[in-house]
Structure 1
């Protein structure tokens, strides 16, 4: 009886040790400290994040994605420390935002390119644009520059390219007398029945069920320098959670996902 009692006491003492050893052999579930909040636009950014969510969860990192339909709030949320990182923007846009808002957000890693395109419900080719046609373009400075350069490459207009950042004032030739409307990027797909041509960011085009590879009358080629970046603050850019997300976003699995799902409308930049 004494020996049996001693055995039971020994087991009671050793059990927590065995449990601790077993727990050490498993990956811990993500805790509140292992959660990263990401501000993103819907397509393709949030879709890519949803694709890698299970992989990150298995590695102990939970991501919470908040979807925005504009290009201002994601960065504002990160700058004000209400979100950890953003994933939606090009480097020229980030630089313009920092200058305009007095912020110092920083790029973490380049992920993909979304070739911007020009679309029309009224015309089948760029050559069909009539005299005095109305063209809608994005109204933020970096994307307006990008839209004008696309139109110039399509010989729709000519530009004075002596400046780094171009606006409507830098159109040096407009043979068809085109009239331009500067509108918020998210609204451009809805203008296609009211204008002759609209230059639309690919994320908004995809969201509107447009197929850039088939529907765009003009589109940037795969050498576009406008890479979309994961963006953070100086105080958290080296956070292990941010670096883990950066590594996942530029993994071979994500590259294959982009190529399979977007058929050239979203091009991996790594």
Structure 2
């Protein structure tokens, strides 16, 4: 074999190995979008285990849930962690999305809070009631009010919205606002829907809620979400395993006690 041929083969081998190395390095990066506490903390716990397996977990914290879904659908992220399945399904329908629920991680005690009143009986006639403006969580909030006997909803298949309210026992004036604005709405309204993690930021605990959602059998569990094209990949399988570890379960049970509970 000639010297020139040997040199050429050596160069090719170096280039191939470099290319493979770059791809392996790229394949070991997991990009995940997560909302704030406790989602971001859960991902950080999982990332510790994934690092031991050679992964580099890059977490992007986003408070805009739609932006997180757009990014995942566009393959800017490998997964996201901020939503329940009904929210994801509505996004898919509106945006021709290919997102899929991989695994439910935890559920929370959502409910209605009031800065002005201590119990349901004190809520006045004409009270201002703040609820989410997105389709799935507005449905959720209205169902809670109906279950508490404060409103009536017309018979309907599918998701409820404000147009489906046929009777409010106390002539409620509804304020439909984005999820991030619900904490501010709590300061202004007589009654406001919210999540315990959001309320905890202003020192309000779930035990302070006037009433909370009854059992939904995991329908609204905050879930790890990926895409149809990568849901079965080793990356996502390893990420799922790390996010359903005993360490994550212990964190939810101890640090999020009274606010939520693991569903795995």
SS in 1 for 2:189: coil
Partner of 2:15: none
Distance 2:258 2:155 in 1: 28
> Size of the alignment, in residue pairs?
240
Query: Shift in Å at residue 165 of structure 1?
Result: 0.6
Matched, 1:133 2:127: yes
Distance 1:97 1:107 in 2: 12
Distance 1:102 1:209 in 2: 39
Partner of 2:10: none
Partner of 2:225: 231
Query: Shift in Å at residue 117 of structure 1?
Result: 1.3
Partner of 1:64: 58
Distance 1:207 1:98 in 2: 31
Identify unmatched segments of 5+ residues in structure 1: 1-29
SS in 1 for 2:248: helix
Please say if residues 222 and 267 of structure 1, whose CA atoms lie closer than 8 Å, have aligned partners that are also in contact. Answer: no
C-alpha distance after superposition, 1:207-246 (max 9, x if no partner): 444321x221111245452111111111111111111111
Distance 2:237 2:202 in 1: 32
C-alpha distance after superposition, 1:175-204 (max 9, x if no partner): 100000100011110122211011013342
List structure 1 segments (4+ residues) > 3 angstroms apart after TM superposition.
206-209, 221-224
Partner of 1:243: 237
SS in 2 for 1:192: helix
Partner of 1:17: none
Do the aligned partners of residues 255 and 166 (structure 1) sit closer, same or farther apart at CA in structure 2, a change above 3 Å counting? same
SS in 2 for 1:47: helix
Partner of 2:208: 215
Query: Shift in Å at residue 161 of structure 1?
Result: 4.0
Question: Aligned-residue CA RMSD in angstroms?
Answer: 1.6
The TM-score, its normalising length taken from structure 1, stands at 0.84
Distance 1:179 1:123 in 2: 16
Identify unmatched segments of 5+ residues in structure 2: 1-23
The structure whose Rg is larger is: 1
Do the aligned partners of residues 70 and 161 (structure 1) sit closer, same or farther apart at CA in structure 2, a change above 3 Å counting? farther
Partner of 2:75: 81
Distance 2:155 2:80 in 1: 31
C-alpha distance after superposition, 1:76-100 (max 9, x if no partner): 1111111111111111100101111
Query: Shift in Å at residue 172 of structure 1?
Result: 2.6
The TM-score, its normalising length taken from structure 2, stands at 0.86
